[in-house]
Amino acid sequence: MTVVTRFAPSPTGFLHIGGARTALFSYLYAKRFGGKFLLRIEDTDRERSTQEAVDAIFEGMKWLGLHSDFDEIYQTQRFDRYKAVIAQMLEDGTAYRCYCSREELDQLRAEQQARKEKPRYDGRWRPEPGKTLPPIPEGVEPVIRFKNPTEGQVVLNDLVKGEIVFDNKELDDLIIARADGTPTYNFCVVVDDWDMGITHVIRGDDHVNNTPRQINILRALGATPPQYAHVAMILGSDGAKLSKRHGALGVMEYRAMGFLPEAMLNYLVRLGWSHGDQELFTRQEMIEKFDFDHVSASPSRFDMEKAYWVNHQYLKTADLDEVAGEFDWHLRQQNLDPANGPDIKDVIVQQRERCRTLLEMAEKSAFFYADLTGYNEKDAKKHLTAEAADVLTALGAELAALSAWEAEAIHTSVNGFAEARALKLAKVAQPIRVACCGMAVSPPIDQTLLLLGRERTLARLRAAVDFVRQAG
Ligand code: GLU
């Protein structure tokens, strides 16, 4: 048996991190068994589905590298198929037409509520042997209902939650097509999972109650139901429903915040799944190790600090090409031209120990790619003093005279300069930093100046001296 899993989002908004985790679990499970993973857009609710949301889902999945093994699938392109299945079910007697009007159903509900009963369809149009159905009213388009078994149980052996038993008498006859002929959500899911040969349905546990109905319909169609894994929710760090105040919700917001996609996957895989106390996994390791035995049945909590930690571990160790692709994007987001400065890979190597995100790295590296627009006020006050101006003037002359612009030569020059004047190194290095970077933090001075280049370094030292003189 080839494992086939799917991620089936309804396109009503951005790709939420909860959805991304479901997609990741589905993807990993399929890959683990050499199977296939597909992305299915559940856009039957035409009022709530938007093209922007579809685009946002594709964008998020692409950024995370969760690629579908099939072409794009949209439920709205499969209506003919759903209608054909419904016609077949009417013929087989596993579905029937119901001519109840809205008023009748409202009245039924009111009566049941008055009797303190659970509101449910009473089966008045359900054909049974020997039963006479009401006369068909004129001018009423019927809905189609599934003839759910009235006896017995549905036993769901959920891969995460274990056994859950549902009594058929608790399930009423689900509407599978509306009066206008459009199929309903639960029905489309069933036909799709069947047609697409889905072997494992992995989804949020908000769908548990749909499952017995879906299993019954599959059985009525003569299909073998897939296995199900219902994954518990992601909560905020305080145990409340995850919301904006706990951190960003959309996957692409994490990109803007400076996360690497692989770090995001790594963070997400540990939300609800564990493998001993291992925290960091390559994609390949996730694929090899992911299983449902270690997916928790209870909700997990989102921990922003941990997400940052994971991201930092990736920034420090990830393949430079991979980081460079994202870093380039971040520089451009800040209207910086990556070509107008040092090779971004060299900058990453210098910055990655000190930055937890690519956004931070881009902000702290902007001075390499654009003219300074000013100095950090506090840093300038402290380090760009009259005394510092003399240091920068003299040191500038020495640096200008270096025969080669190399790290070691710069290092020797700066250190030698401080020693010769019996100055603490910081008295030299900090004014240089503020002059060249606009702030008092940067990678080591020799590396910073090397990457900045001779022309820019000397021009910035001169500009800082002018700044001090003008201020004084
Ligand atoms: N379209 C459903 C949702 O976005 C998922 C349905 C499923 O996975 O079966 O919640």
Summarised one tens digit per residue, pLDDT across range 139-183 is 999 999 999 999 999 999 999 999 999 999 999 999 999 999 999
CA 314 to chain centre: 17
The catalytic residue among 244, 316, 345, 381 is 244
Structure tokens at 92: 């087989």
Percent with pLDDT over 70 in the chain: 100
pLDDT > 80? residue 426: yes
Q: Of 68, 54, 70, nearest to 9 (Cα)? A: 54
Ligand 1 centroid – CA 101 distance (Å)? 29
CA 230 to chain centre: 19
Verify whether ligand 1 is closer than 6 Å to residue 53 (CB atom). no
Whether 244 is catalytic is yes
What does the pLDDT read at residue 90?
98
- pLDDT classification of 89: cutoffs 50, 70, 90: very high
pLDDT tens digits for 344-355?
999 999 999 999
Verify whether ligand 1 is closer than 6 Å to residue 42 (CB atom). yes
pLDDT > 80? residue 472: no
What does the pLDDT read at residue 248?
84
Mean pLDDT of 452-457: 98
Ligand 1 centroid – CA 396 distance (Å)? 64
State the fold for domain 377-471. Answer: Arc Repressor Mutant, subunit A (1.10.10)
pLDDT > 90? residue 46: no
Point out the ligand 1 atom lying closest to the alpha carbon of residue 12: 4
Verify whether ligand 1 is closer than 6 Å to residue 188 (CB atom). no
Fold identical between 78-231 and 377-471? no
Ligand 1 centroid – CA 206 distance (Å)? 9
E strand or H helix at 398: helix 386-400
Verify whether ligand 1 is closer than 6 Å to residue 40 (CB atom). no
Domain boundaries, the chain: 78-231, 251-368, 377-471
- pLDDT classification of 411: cutoffs 50, 70, 90: very high
| Class of the domain covering 251-368 | mainly alpha
Verify whether ligand 1 is closer than 6 Å to residue 295 (CB atom). no
Verify whether ligand 1 is closer than 6 Å to residue 9 (CB atom). yes
Q: Which of 17, 38, 42, 228 to mutate to test the pocket of ligand 1 (most atoms within 8 A of CB)?
A: 42
Beta bridge partners of 204: 231
Point out the ligand 1 atom lying closest to the alpha carbon of residue 202: 8
pLDDT tens digits for 227-285?
999 999 999 999 999 988 888 899 999 999 999 999 999 999 999 999 999 999 999 99
Verify whether ligand 1 is closer than 6 Å to residue 11 (CB atom). no
Q: Of 421, 452, 422, nearest to 435 (Cα)? A: 452
Number of H helices, E strands in the chain: 19, 12
Angle at 356 between CA 350 and CA 358, to 5 degrees: 70
pLDDT > 90? residue 414: yes
Mean pLDDT of 416-430: 97
Mean pLDDT of 414-424: 97
Mean pLDDT of 313-317: 98
Q: Work out the mean pLDDT of the chain and round it to a whole number.
A: 96
Predicted TM-score of the model (pTM):
0.94
CATH code at 78-231: 3.40.50.620
**Residue 472 and residue 464: Cα distance in Å, rounded?**
12
Please, are residues 236 and 248 in contact by the beta-carbon 8 Å criterion?
Answer: no
